[in-house]
Amino acid sequence: MSTPHIAAERGAFAPTVLLPGDPLRAEHIAATLLDDAVEVTRVRGMAGFTGRWRGQPVSVMGTGMGIPSASIYATELVREYGATRLVRIGTCGAVAADLQLGDIVLAQGACTDSGVNRTRFRGMDFAAIAGFDLLSTVAAAARMRGERFAVGNLFSADLFYHPDPALLDTLDTMGVLGIDMEAAGLYGIAAQHRVQALAVCAVSDQLREGGRWSPAQRQCGVDAMVRLVLDALAG
């Protein structure tokens, strides 16, 4: 069995799938964090792996950047491979002034300038929200560990280099914590297919102060966050 973008056999993916945008981050997670990880697909440089964490099966699949690319993989994983818990693992740019580099943002909701959810929802505004069970489980684990984290809204941007200099002020006024490029699309897919989804992002850029992670940190700097998520979901 295969799809246009995933060449894996039926049953190759676990019900829980971590979704980093960066394909190298997916490989890094599989190689350094999961036990007995095996590559189950590789199509045009985008690979997926299934292994175990504390004895429980878990998969990781790269999605590429942006809602269109991430939506392809999320949809195929749900429709064709039976995924029921989709967890975006990535980074975001901080809008909120009190967020520091490395802080964790749990996206309880995601607003966007993309039209994908309006297309799904007959032109109306759709409330793109996280799965409550996933959100509450990971938030409880983060609180127990004393992690620096915040729960709130992300803004999923269609443009990495946005032309509107006033955008940050608007987002800040509305209490948006940070900017990513995938969460709103992922939440729309999860709602449509009645599955759980959550975006968990480490702050890699302070958009007002100018602080930023190095390229190496962007690839491997989320390891502690991934362990938090895996431990939380393993119960």
| 230 neighbors 33 (Cβ within 8 angstroms) | yes
Q: What is the CATH number of the domain that holds 75?
A: 3.40.50.1580
Q: Number of folded domains in the chain?
A: 1
Q: Above pLDDT 90, what percent of the chain?
A: 93
In a domain? residue 10: no
- pTM for the model: 0.96
Mean pLDDT of the chain: 96
Which of 181, 6, 12 minimizes the C-alpha distance to 76? 6
User: What is the rounded distance in angstroms from the CA atom of residue 113 to the CA atom of residue 183?
Assistant: 12
What is residue 124's three-state secondary structure?
A: coil
Long-range contacts of 28-33, Cβ-Cβ distance < 8 Å, separation of 24 or more: 28/219, 28/220, 28/223, 29/60, 29/89, 29/223, 29/226, 30/60, 32/223, 33/223, 33/226, 33/227, 33/230
Give the burial string for 180-215 (b: 16+ CB within 10 Å, else e). Answer: bbbbbbbbbbbbebebbbbbbbbbbbbbeeeebbee
Query: Which residue among 22, 103, 180, 205 is the active-site one?
Result: 205
In a domain? residue 6: no
- Per-residue pLDDT band for 81 (boundaries 50, 70, 90) equals very high
> Which residues constitute the domain of residue 21?
16-234
pLDDT tens-digit series, residues 129-176:
999 999 999 999 999 999 999 999 999 999 999 999 899 999 999 999
205 is catalytic: yes
In a domain? residue 1: no
Average pLDDT over residues 93-104: 96
In a domain? residue 171: yes
In a domain? residue 130: yes
pLDDT tens-digit series, residues 182-197:
999 999 999 999 999 9
DSSP state of 177: -
User: What is the rounded distance in angstroms from the CA atom of residue 104 to the CA atom of residue 147?
Assistant: 8
| 179 neighbors 207 (Cβ within 8 angstroms) | yes
Residue 215, pLDDT above cutoff 90: no
pLDDT tens-digit series, residues 26-57:
999 999 999 999 999 999 999 999 999 999 99
In a domain? residue 54: yes
